A and B are shown apart, each in its own frame.
Chain A
Amino acid sequence: MSRYNQMKHTFTYTLRILLYLILIAPLLLFAAYAFSTRWFFPQPFPVEWTMGTFQRAINDSRTLSSMAQGVWIAFLVSILSLILALPTARVLGLRKFRGRQLAWLLLFLPTVIPPLAVGMGLNILFLRIGLAGTITGVVLAHIIPTLPYTIFTLSSAFARFDENYEYQALALGASPWQIFLKVTLRMMTPSLVVATLFAFLISWSQYLLTLLIGGGQVITLPILLFSAASGGNPSIIAMLSLLFVAPPVMVIAFTARSLNQHGNEIREQY
């Protein structure tokens, strides 16, 4: 019996280690290609390490500007989503009203309608009104996938929020604005952080919408990576991949705990 248990224990242990190994494997793989040189075919492991690819990447104005543009767009998208989502999420999380179901349905349409169709339609519309190829256009397009997620995260946080904290502050003499800043936002901070970070990530990793709306004028890292991956040098592909996953990897590492609550909701956005 104890022998059987021991075997079972070892098996569980091995499986777990395997699981964790798979998790960091992509990073190791990218690092191996990105920081090695003259790694010719049959050699199973890199033989010569180099920072050359990295230096070339960060000295390349195209890479740098694509990253800067991606960060700027993602920043605008997350701020805008947050501002749009806050009042909506509050009402959806705290109030019961006629048509609530309908509101949910409408707000969640963007998760159902494929980005492909949205992007193509917006491409024509934005060409007409002069938003195609502009940062504004891309930001507007990115809001479509980020907004439902932001609303969802915040509204489930509001559903757990007890309005009596606000009444308490009101009775103690705080003005509505003070209540919003000092009580509501403070109580919501963890969810706000998660919602913002993920709106940022969804925008940061958006390929199709950026391609269709940016039309070759707005270049972000996923666009560079995609065209490199379609037939480029493995070292460069790997380096761009590393730069591309750096923000998500950091965010997930930092927010890992709260993800147990929210993580699964955004997966399909990604």
Chain B
Amino acid sequence: MTTINILSLNKTYLNQSAPVLKDFSLSTNDGEMVALLGPSGSGKSTLLKLITGIERPDSGDIQFDGSSILNIEPNKRGAVLMFQKSYLFPFLSVEENIGFGLKVQGASSETIRAEVKRMLNLIGLPGIERRKPGQLSGGEGQRVALARALVTNPKLLLLDEPLSSLDTSVRMNLQEAIRTIQREFGVTTIFVTHDLGEAMAMSDRMALLLNGGIVALDKPENLFHRPRSLAAARFMGVSTFLNGDQLPVKCEASLSSEKIFAIRPEHIRIQKEACKDSIQGVVSDCVFRGEYVEYQVAIDEMTVRARMTMPAQMFSHGEQVYVNFQSEKLFEIHW
């Protein structure tokens, strides 16, 4: 339906020296869900405000299907928002809430009633038209909010951490629901979150946002296994970085000390006995996390973090171990 082009956005708030968004660009394909992952203060929410028109950018452009929307009134842009809180109007019933967007556009009451019914079926909550928002659970509230957002057939759906206030089980459930409904509508979606798991589970592509700019943008699986930059790698939970000449495995690349290699914690193995290409170290920390154990192993000056899936051999603090890197899982990091 809609492709979104965000071009070199800059935004600095009044009375603040540091820019919130710095030369920010992002393009989405039609019907795609892009997750924006970043710590708080990285500019995620500002971006959503610029797209909806609550704030104006200092420079840059935002285009829907190739034409700029910056001069379109906020209420005519067709970019709907869903927040952490449902923000269902407490004085309206579920039906009136979902129908709100249609009503302000002047739709007839029959159309509204039919559309609301269709949406309620879609979100799996048929028959709750008469209820008030106060009578809904957190998850139900967010489903209704999703229905309210989508009923107007928006060009763009913006999700601002819509699940972060929900319990884990409800959350999983809703992740799937949102994903399914989004696909069914084919609505282009930008999804802001600080939860890595959620971003990976839901998005087609994932953008890592740091200090007002995107540091990495790729499919979740690519980003997870082969982050290109140091910042992206740290983001994705990688904490072991080695200079080329530190590598235990000898290959052509390893000769250079200029190059930096990284490896995911689950690709590092710890064992009692020495074997080919293993290095000796001492266990400096050990945390049992149920499905896996996390070890920190000191090798000379360096600390390596490893993650072993259970069942695994257990080691205790101070034990001498051998660390084995799965050489084919090493990847190069570009500064």
Contacts and interface: CB of A to CB of B under 8 A. Distances in A.
* In the complex, A touching B (Cβ < 8 A): yes
Interface in B148-193: 148-149, 152, 158
A175 B104 contact: yes
B76 interface: yes
A186 B89 contact: yes
B100 A174 contact: yes
B87 A183 contact: no
B104 A167 contact: no
Nearest to B148: A172
B75 A183 contact: no
Nearest to A168: B87
A178 B91 contact: no
A168 B86 CA distance: 10
A173 B101 contact: yes
Q: Which 9 A-B pairs have the closest CB atoms?
A: A172-B101, A174-B104, A171-B81, A168-B87, A171-B80, A173-B75, A186-B91, A170-B74, A170-B75
Given A162-B87, A164-B87, A186-B91, A173 B79 contact: no
B54 interface: yes
Interface in A157-199: 162, 164-165, 167-176, 178, 182-183, 186-187, 189
A164 B90 CA distance: 13
Interface of A is mostly: helix
Given A168-B87, A169-B100, 5 more contacts: A171-B77, A171-B158, A172-B101, A172-B104, A183-B89
Contact of A165 (B78, B80, B89): B89
A162 B76 CA distance: 22
Contacts of A165: 87, 89
B50 to A, nearest CB: 13
Contacts of A172: 75, 80, 100-101, 104, 148-149, 152
B54 A175 contact: no
B191 to A, nearest CB: 15
Contacts of A183: 89
Interface residues of B, number: 26
23 contacts: A162-B85, A164-B85, A167-B54, A168-B83, A168-B87, A169-B89, A169-B100, A171-B74, A171-B75, A171-B79, A171-B81, A172-B148, A173-B75, A173-B152, A175-B75, A175-B104, A176-B75, A182-B100, A182-B104, A186-B91, A187-B89, A187-B90, A189-B91
B105 interface: yes
Contact of A170 (B52, B89, B149, B152): B52
Nearest to B51: A171
Contacts of B101: 172-174
Nearest to A163: B54
Interface string B63-101: 000000000011111111101010101110000000011
A200 to B, nearest CB: 24
B144 to A, nearest CB: 12
A43 to B, nearest CB: 56
A178 B81 contact: no
Given A172-B100, A172-B101, A167 B75 contact: no
A172 B87 CA distance: 12
A259 to B, nearest CB: 21
A178 B104 contact: yes
Contacts of B105: 173
A84 to B, nearest CB: 25
Contacts of B80: 171-172
Given A172-B104, A172-B152, A174-B100, A167 B52 contact: yes
A167 B81 contact: yes
B278 to A, nearest CB: 55
A169 B80 CA distance: 9
Contacts of B79: 171
A187 B52 contact: no
Nearest to A169: B100
A17 B286 CA distance: 68
Interface in A212-242: none
B194 to A, nearest CB: 18
A241 to B, nearest CB: 39
Interface centre among B73, B79, B104, B152 (most CB of A within 10 A): B104
A227 B250 CA distance: 108
A261 B170 CA distance: 36
Contacts of A171: 52, 74-75, 77, 79-81, 149, 158
Nearest to B104: A174
Contacts of A162: 85, 87
A230 to B, nearest CB: 49
A178 B73 CA distance: 14
Contacts of A189: 91
Nearest to B49: A167
A189 B100 CA distance: 19
A171 B54 CA distance: 9
A100 to B, nearest CB: 14
A174 to B, nearest CB: 4
Interface centre among A167, A171, A173, A178 (most CB of B within 10 A): A171
Interface string B98-118: 001100110000000000000
B81 A168 contact: yes
Contacts of A168: 81, 83, 87
B250 to A, nearest CB: 58
